[in-house]
């Protein structure tokens, strides 16, 4: 028999001063003390069971984090069959709104159908953009975080009319919203009172490149060839966007009918070439991705899928020559895997495409394919990834863990140092959110990515460019209009890289027997020295190697990423530091070791 909790009110406690970031990382919720734990095993049937709900706010949004026992795709019911529905009593009055388990809900919103009902004064259908809903992640998981705008208005009326609200979740078995798997709380709602106080500022960004030595990449889905549309309004918006961002390398997707030269011609109109410059461009026939670059494109390669019906040509690889500015080639893969999740087969087709991308990279790094690249050149995979299904596709992209090994071969470590690729994960300008799409039939979410080989590239700046979120001062400074980035249904995703990183990580073949940090050599040194360390087991923790001055102030982070077991060597260049005593510290989970070194000029 289902256990009934005779609890009608759940009162909020303290307000977290730390800004909540909607970015697929839940560590910023650690200090949130307003939460409700649902009793384990109180679901009526099936495997779906609510676990914990957290709630907090800032001046702009109500934030909710929900944790369950079963993986679902939050905004799509076509595969998992869980119709998770949110109820909010926005006026804290049980006599108004829809009566549900002792509360009067002004909002009923079902995430998977991406619609709901408002019960303010007149009952009406509402959608995600009516309440300013933005959530993460877009792919499957058992934990999600989302924001609802505190300034939302329904039919001209403020959505939140009380400073105290009640929140409830019910996981229904169908769109009829009758039978359910579980609900939390079982009776009544979680009572939350909006708090006020100072909040950390949003993540910083710089619209313009902070150094001419940096390399700026941009991934941009231009919504079905819009960039070659002759509409003056469309062209003015694209011109404003490109003039503000000034990218060096652009990976376009949804270029279906236009040639790469036609796209490059438009870019030339926005950003005219100077003496000795041009916009190089390539498109593999039959594919919808294009690369336009200030650097020569030496060759392009289709990344073909096989043995999966209707797995459209999704991605292409481009080998660039970055000389003379950088003494290196560069491999750029522009990806646009299959969209949507109309049935289970869409997921397998998309997984096949991610496996193909990573198999191409593995073969290029190991002389096993149509292209062999030089060791330690920068590698970037960017584009509209359409990660709206199983999260293993994201894991494949980052870790090199191929799912269909029979088709695509062995798993591999995709970065040169034996570690995973890094995810730039830019935030939207002036926000703490990582969405890359404008709202449409689906809410805004993160579909566009830039991932890269962090062992040889240092990310120094990144952002998803949304002119609606810029201040009037920034709009005026860069000659922008507030609706410029509505020219496409995706936002431009921008990342700046330093290609002369302060370290070079080399992995040796031996597998050590324990964690260890060796004494640097030479010591004393000027200006560079070698630091060796060992990792004997695979760990989910990031491997951190940091430099501190004699007062304990951290001055450099040499490494902060997951790594495979092995012996590693890092060359640390301290040419920008004064003579003195420094400390270097290795942290891997609970293991910490510190050693001293001397820079002597």
258 CB burial (10 A radius; 0-12, 13-18, 19+) = buried
Let me know whether 264 and 356 are in one domain.
Answer: yes
pLDDT in tens, 351-382: 999 999 999 999 999 998 999 999 999 999 99
- Indicate whether 507 belongs to any domain: no
Whether residue 270 lies inside any domain: the answer is yes
The residue-averaged pLDDT of 285-300 equals 97
Q: Tell me how crowded residue 323 is: count the other CB atoms within 10 A of its CB.
A: 11
- 316 and 391 both lie in a single domain: yes
With beta carbons less than 8 A apart as the criterion, state whether 382 and 449 touch.
yes
Query: What are the residues whose beta carbons fall under 8 Å from the beta carbon of 507, sequence distance 6 or more?
Result: 417, 418, 564, 566, 567, 568
Same-domain pairing of 258 and 186: no
pLDDT of residue 250: 99
253-265 pLDDT per residue, tens: 999 999 999 999 9
Give per-residue pLDDT as tens, 479-514: 999 999 999 999 999 999 999 754 445 555 566 668
Cα–Cα distance measured from residue 161 to residue 592, given in angstroms and rounded to the nearest whole number: 51
d(CA 550, CA 594): 12
Q: Which pLDDT tens digit goes with each residue over 202-254? A: 999 999 999 999 999 999 999 999 999 999 999 999 999 999 999 999 999 99
Number of domains in the chain: 3
Residues 388 and 476 in one domain: yes
What pTM was estimated for this model as a whole?
0.84
Please tell me whether residues 283 and 136 are part of one structural domain. no
Tell me what pLDDT residue 307 has: 62
Mean pLDDT value of segment 62-77: 94
Question: Quick one: CA dihedral 327, 331, 334, 340, positive or negative?
Answer: negative
Q: Which residue has the higher pLDDT, 569 or 563?
A: 569
Q: 9: pLDDT confidence band, cut at 50, 70 and 90?
A: very low
| Neighbouring-strand partners of residue 107 | 88, 118
Per residue in 528-548, pLDDT (tens digit) is 999 999 988 777 678 889 999
- Of the ranges 187-201, 336-350, 388-402, 407-421, which one carries the lowest mean pLDDT score? 336-350
Distance of CA 31 to the CA centre of its chain: 22
Same domain, 189 and 235: no
Same domain, 458 and 339: yes
How much is the average pLDDT of 141-155?
97
Is residue 579 in a domain?
yes
User: Which residue bears the tokens 């290795």?
Assistant: 586
Q: Per residue in 392-428, is it b (16+ CB within 10 Å) or e — as a string?
A: bbbebbbbbbbbbeeebeebbbbbbbbbbbbbbbbbb
505 belongs to a structural domain: no
Task: With respect to residue 508, please indicate whether it lies within any of the assigned structural domains.
Answer: no
pLDDT at residue 21, rounded to an integer: 97
Same domain for 481 and 522: no
Segment 110-117 mean pLDDT:
96
The pLDDT confidence band at residue 580, using thresholds 50, 70 and 90, is: confident
What percent of the chain is predicted at pLDDT more than 90?
77
Structure confidence at residue 16 as a pLDDT band (50, 70, 90): very low
- The residue-averaged pLDDT of 109-122 equals 96
pLDDT at residue 12 tops 50? no
Distance (Å, rounded) from C-alpha 197 to C-alpha 318? 49
Q: Classify residue 430 as exposed, middle or buried by CB count within 10 Å of its CB (0-12, 13-18, 19+).
A: middle
The domain boundary, picked from 498, 525, 560, lies at 498
- What pLDDT sits at residue 7? 34
How does residue 310 score in pLDDT terms, banded at 50, 70 and 90?
A: low
Average pLDDT over residues 323-334: 95
CB-CB contact of 192 with 167 (8 Å): yes
Closest CA to 594 of 548, 555, 551: 548
Q: What are phi and psi of 46, to 5 degrees?
A: 75, -170
Amino acid 562: pLDDT: 80
Range of the domain at 560: 516-599
* 341 band by pLDDT with thresholds 50, 70 and 90: confident
Of 498, 525, 545, which one is at a domain's C-terminal end? 498
The answer to whether residue 551 sits within a structural domain is yes
107-110 and 115-119 as β-strands: parallel, antiparallel, unpaired? antiparallel
* In contact, 217 and 493? CB cutoff 8 Å: no
**Pair (38, 179) in one structural domain:** yes
**In-domain check, residue 504:** no
Please spell the DSSP secondary structure of 37-91, one letter per residue: EPPTT--SSSS--EEEEEEEE-SSEEEEEEEEEEEE-TT--TTT--EEEEEEETT
Instruction: Provide the sign of the torsion angle of the four alpha carbons 24, 30, 31, 36, taken in this order.
Output: positive
Indicate whether 208 belongs to any domain: no
Question: Per the structure block, which two tokens stand in for 332?
Answer: 């750029």
Q: What pLDDT is stored for residue 5 in this prediction?
A: 33
Confidence of residue 455 (pLDDT cuts 50, 70, 90): confident
pLDDT at 320 over 90: yes
What is each CA distance from 488 to 155, 252, 468, in whole angstroms?
A: 27, 12, 13
Mean pLDDT of 416-430: 94
Of residues 119 and 512, more confidently modeled:
119
DSSP3 helix / strand / coil % (the chain, rounded to 5): 15, 35, 50
Q: What is the mean pLDDT of residues 396-405?
A: 97
Which of left, alpha, beta for 321 (phi over 0: left; psi -120 to 50: alpha)? beta
CATH of residue 326's domain is: 3.60.10.10
Is there a single domain that holds both residue 494 and residue 526? Answer: no
Q: Is the pLDDT of residue 6 over 60?
A: no
User: If you average pLDDT over every residue of the chain, what do you get?
Assistant: 92
Tell me, what's the pLDDT at 343? 65
| Domain final residue pick, 142, 158, 193 | 193
The CATH number assigned to the domain holding 131 equals: 2.60.40
Query: Torsion-angle region of residue 11: left (phi > 0), alpha (psi -120 to 50) or beta?
Result: beta
- Average pLDDT, integer, range 20-39: 95
- Running DSSP on this structure, what letter comes out for residue 503? -
584: CATH: 2.60.40.1930
Say yes or no to pLDDT of 468 above 80: yes
Cα–Cα nearest to 418, from 511, 342, 280, 294: 511
Asked whether residue 394 falls in the same domain as residue 331, the answer is: yes
Q: What percent of the chain has pLDDT over 70?
A: 93
Average pLDDT over residues 428-456: 97
Structure tokens at 186: 């079982």
Asked whether residue 592 falls in the same domain as residue 482, the answer is: no
């Amino acid at each position: 028999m289902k256990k009934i909790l005779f609890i009608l009110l759940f009162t909020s406690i303290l307000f977290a001063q730390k800004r909540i970031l909607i970015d697929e990382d839940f560590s910023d919720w650690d200090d949130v003390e307003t939460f409700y734990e649902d009793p384990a095993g109180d679901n009526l049937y099936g495997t779906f069971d609510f676990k914990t709900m957290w709630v907090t706010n800032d001046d702009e949004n109500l934030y909710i984090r929900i944790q369950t026992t079963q993986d679902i795709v939050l905004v799509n019911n076509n595969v998992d069959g869980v119709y998770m529905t949110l109820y909010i009593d926005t006026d804290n009055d049980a006599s108004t709104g829809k009566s549900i388990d002792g509360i009067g809900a002004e909002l009923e919103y079902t995430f998977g159908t991406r619609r709901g009902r408002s019960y303010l004064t007149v009952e009406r259908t509402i959608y995600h953009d009516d309440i300013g809903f933005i959530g993460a992640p877009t792919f499957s998981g058992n934990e999600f975080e989302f924001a609802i705008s505190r300034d939302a208005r329904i039919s001209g009326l403020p959505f939140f009319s009380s400073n105290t609200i009640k929140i409830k979740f019910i996981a229904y078995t169908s769109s009829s919203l009758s039978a359910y798997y579980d609900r939390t709380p079982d009776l009544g709602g979680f009572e939350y009172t909006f708090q006020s106080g100072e909040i950390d500022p949003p993540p910083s960004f710089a619209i313009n490149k902070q150094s001419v030595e940096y390399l700026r990449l941009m991934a941009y889905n231009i919504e079905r060839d819009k960039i070659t549309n002759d509409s003056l309004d469309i062209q003015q918006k694209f011109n404003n966007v490109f003039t503000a961002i000034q990218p060096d390398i652009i990976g376009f997707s949804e270029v279906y009918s236009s040639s790469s030269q036609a796209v490059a011609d438009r870019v030339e109109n926005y950003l005219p070439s100077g003496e000795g410059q041009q916009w190089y461009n390539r498109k593999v026939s039959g594919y919808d991705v294009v690369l336009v670059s200030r650097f020569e494109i030496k060759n392009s390669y289709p990344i073909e899928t096989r043995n999966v019906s209707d797995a459209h040509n999704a991605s292409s690889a481009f080998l660039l020559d970055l000389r003379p500015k950088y003494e290196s080639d560069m491999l750029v893969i522009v990806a646009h895997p299959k969209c949507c999740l109309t049935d289970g087969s869409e997921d397998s087709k998309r997984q096949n495409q991610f496996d193909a991308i990573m198999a191409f990279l593995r073969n290029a790094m190991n002389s096993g394919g149509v292209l062999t690249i030089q060791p330690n050149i920068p590698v970037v995979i960017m584009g509209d990834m359409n990660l709206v299904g199983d999260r293993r596709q994201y894991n494949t992209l980052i870790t090199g863990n191929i799912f269909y090994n029979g088709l695509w071969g062995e798993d591999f470590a995709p970065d040169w140092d034996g570690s995973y690729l890094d995810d730039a994960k830019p935030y939207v300008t002036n926000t703490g959110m990582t969405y890359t799409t404008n709202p449409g039939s689906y809410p805004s979410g993160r579909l566009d990515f830039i991932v890269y080989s962090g062992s040889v590239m240092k990310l120094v700046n990144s952002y998803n460019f949304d002119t609606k979120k810029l201040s009037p001062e920034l709009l005026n400074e860069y000659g922008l209009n507030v609706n410029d980035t509505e020219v496409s249904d995706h936002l431009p995703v921008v990342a700046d890289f330093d290609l002369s990183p302060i370290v070079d990580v080399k992995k040796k073949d031996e597998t050590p027997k324990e964690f260890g940090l060796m004494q640097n050599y030479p010591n004393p040194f000027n200006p560079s020295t070698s630091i060796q360390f060992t990792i004997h087991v695979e760990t989910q923790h990031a491997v951190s190697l940091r430099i501190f001055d004699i007062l304990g102030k951290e001055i450099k982070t040499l490494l902060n990423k997951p790594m495979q077991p092995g012996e590693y060597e890092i060359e640390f260049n301290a040419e920008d530091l004064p003579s003195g005593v420094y400390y270097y510290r290795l942290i891997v989970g609970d293991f910490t070791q510190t050693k001293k070194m001397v820079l002597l000029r």
